[in-house]
Each structure stands twice: as C-alpha cells, then as structure tokens.
Amino acid sequence: MSIKADTAKLKRWREERHWSQEHLAELAGVGLRTIQRIENGQQASPESLKALASAYQVDVSALYIDPEVEAAGIVQRKNAKTIAGLQLSFLIHLASWVLGMAIFAAISIGAEANYWVMKWPTLWWSVGLVSHGVTVAIVWLALRYKEEHEIPAT
C-alpha cells in the first residue's frame, strides 16, 4: 500500500535543516532514490514514511497530505479563477462601454442636434453594464460566503 506524502513539507523541512538528500537518506535508513522519488511527488510506502518521520522526529501522520485540506485548496483555487474571469469580463465590458460612449458622443456632436442623439443605446448599454457589475458582485459574494460558512466534514 502506498500513501501520498506531503512532499512540499518534507522538502521544506529538509531545506530548513540544511540537510542534503543524501544526509536525510542516511538518517532515515532509506535509499537516496527513495528520497528523490518522494520529493518528486511519487507514492511512498508506509515503511519509508515511518523512517522519514523518525529522522525528522515527528509523528508519521505529520507527513501525510490531509485530503480535506487538499480539497479545500483546490476549491479555493477554482473559486479564485472564477472570480478573476468574471472580473476580467467586467473590465472588458467597461472598456467597451467607455469606447462606445466616446463614439456615441461623436455621433451626437456630428448630428448637430441640441440633444443626445444616442440616448437610447446609451441608456440600455449602461443598464447592461450595471447588470453585469451586479452579477459579478453577487457571484463573488456568494463564493466568499460559501467558503467562509462551509460545514466541515465529520
């Protein structure tokens, strides 16, 4: 049976102690290739993890990746990507709106009328922009609320 070790933690601990992979392998009583394999994210046997835990003087459970923490990290990264995409879409819409308003102003000035010729397109495009902004804000708030009020699994 193989177990997924927290490779980032193992590597960080080794580097904090200024140990080489060879030194860690010698302390743990495992092969250098085993250390390299584990630090590259491959599966580790329970015996190898016990040997590493002994070398680091920690409980073997400190070396495992917690699936709940990993899942929460994946969800947070996915939500962050979603929010970034929505914000980008709104900024593109806003830039288009600014350009459109400049063109509408040029049309109205060129028409030599005493009123805003493009009032209806301006109004409806502005309504669409505000609606887009409100939608982005609601989704952002909903994702943040869900992250903060997530019920932990028992």
pLDDT digits (tens, 9 = 90+) for 120-131: 999 999 999 999
Two tokens at 12? 């960080």
pLDDT digits (tens, 9 = 90+) for 101-113: 999 999 988 888 7
Two tokens at 11? 């590597």
Using CA atoms, how far residue 121 sits from 113, 118, 144, in Å, is: 16, 6, 35
Give the model's pLDDT for residue 133. 96
Quote the CA–CA distance of 32 and 6 in Å, as a whole number.
18
**Residue 7: pLDDT band by 50, 70, 90 thresholds?**
confident
Whose tokens are 């250390």? That residue is 35
Give the model's pLDDT for residue 17. 92
pLDDT digits (tens, 9 = 90+) for 60-100: 878 877 667 777 788 889 989 999 999 999 999 999 999 99
**Residue 146: pLDDT band by 50, 70, 90 thresholds?**
confident
Within 1-154, residue ranges assigned H as helices are 7-16, 21-28, 32-39, 46-56, 67-110, 119-148
Give the model's pLDDT for residue 46. 85
For the chain, report the end-to-end CA distance as a whole number of angstroms: 25
Residue 138 predicted with pLDDT over 90: yes
Two tokens at 116? 């805003």
Listed residue (129, 95, 126) closest to 118, CA to CA = 126
